[in-house]
Copies of this chain bind each other. A is one copy, B any other.
Amino acid sequence: MNDLLNQFLTVRSQSEELCAPLLAEDYVVQPKEFVSPPKWHLGHSTWFFETFLLQHKPGYSVFDPHYNFVFNSYYESVGARVIRTDRGNLSRPSVADVYSYRKHVDLHLSEWLDQWTNEEPLRTLLMLGLNHEQQHQELLMTDIKYILGHNPLFPPYDLGYKDPEDFSSGAEAYIQIAEGLYDIGYADDGFCYDNEQGRHRVWLDGFTIAAQLVTNAAYLEFIEAGGYGDFRHWHAEGWDWVQKEQVKAPLYWHEIEGEWMEYGLSGLRKLDPEGLLCHVSFYEAAAFAAWRGMRLPTEQEWEVAALAFNWGRRWEWTNSAYLPYPGFCKAEGAIGEYNGKFMVNQMVLRGASDATPLGHSRVTYRNFFHASARWQYSGIRLVKQ
């Protein structure tokens, strides 16, 4: 078995392992527009391989012609699709059907891979498909957490689930980075997304960045100081969001009979003050920083500092909007829809999280979400003004 095949089978089986603790019912629901049903993730990542790779395999016929309609996400080039808000309205294809679909595609792709002699551009597309599936593995976990964590019964995903020991070491240390010209963007010859390419120079003024991420305890002080009720810390849009959504704490935090509890994958538990803060929106991150008289880093500052310190335990909001790097060019065809068309009204997150598949992220990786998103594992790192 060649390496590619091995890598393919590994990634594919990881998606299924993540779903092992689920009941059939958990695969189906979509409590909010931004959540996708687990079943859909399993089908969509499979559809990606079928559509962009297997269509080139001689003699391959699609598993079910309706699936293109069901499992296309946002590729306008590839035809009509179920509208995003309707994904949770579909009881069929069933979970069993989706696993059959995966088996079918895995089988045909495996057979084919075995005969490959590392031919381009198929190899590039395969790598994109694998990274795409890894991205969906992270979304799968955050969506599962949302589905279970918003159920009135607070069912655990896995009673024995252990969050990695991602606690603060205590002291509030800062790192100074000198002004100068720095190179930003991907420079190696492995896989990266098009949005990281185009390595380019930037000038950075000197800055002082926290060595540690913000802890739950530090954020509790903000809550207790009335931070959610004082407009002065917030962006105007953030303030509207807080009022409209009646936000009073990070997602998954519940004040129950005077005690702060947090829903985690092992169920509802007491909030650990030493733990790293997670599940805040960009608005909350920026308001917290303003309250502390500090700010968030830009993505360039982050990249420069992270290189030296190997960060990546939480996605970290930056104060950078998601925009193209100099020289960015969309690829031709459907693959060109992967990144570029989202480059407006989103903020960049850097790092990685417990839910990120091992080896998927890197220091140049640009994650991006709307400023109000907080169901991802998103935390805060401060920079002195």
Contacts and interface: CB of A to CB of B under 8 A. Distances in A.
Contact of A91 (B151, B232, B237, B323): B151
Given A25-B25, A28-B29, A344 B347 contact: yes
Interface string A220-257: 00000000000110111111000000000000000000
A29 B88 contact: yes
Interface string A64-95: 00100110001011000010001011111111
Interface in A144-178: 147-148, 150-153, 155
Copies of this protein, total: 4
Main secondary structure of the interface of A (DSSP, over half): mixed
B181 A70 contact: no
A195 to B, nearest CB: 14
A24 B29 CA distance: 12
A30 interface: yes
B152 A91 contact: no
Interface residues of A, number: 71
Nearest to A202: B203
A323 B319 contact: yes
A76 B242 CA distance: 14
A261 interface: no
B320 A76 contact: no
Nearest to A95: B25
A1 B82 CA distance: 52
A221 B265 CA distance: 52
7 contacts: A25-B91, A28-B28, A88-B89, A89-B150, A205-B326, A237-B345, A321-B321
Given A23-B94, A25-B91, A327-B385, 5 more contacts: A26-B91, A29-B88, A77-B231, A92-B151, A319-B324
Interface of A: 23-31, 39, 66, 69-70, 74, 76-77, 82, 86, 88-96, 147-148, 150-153, 155, 181, 200-203, 205, 231-232, 234-239, 282-283, 286, 290, 295, 319-321, 323-324, 326-327, 329-330, 336, 341-345, 347, 371, 385
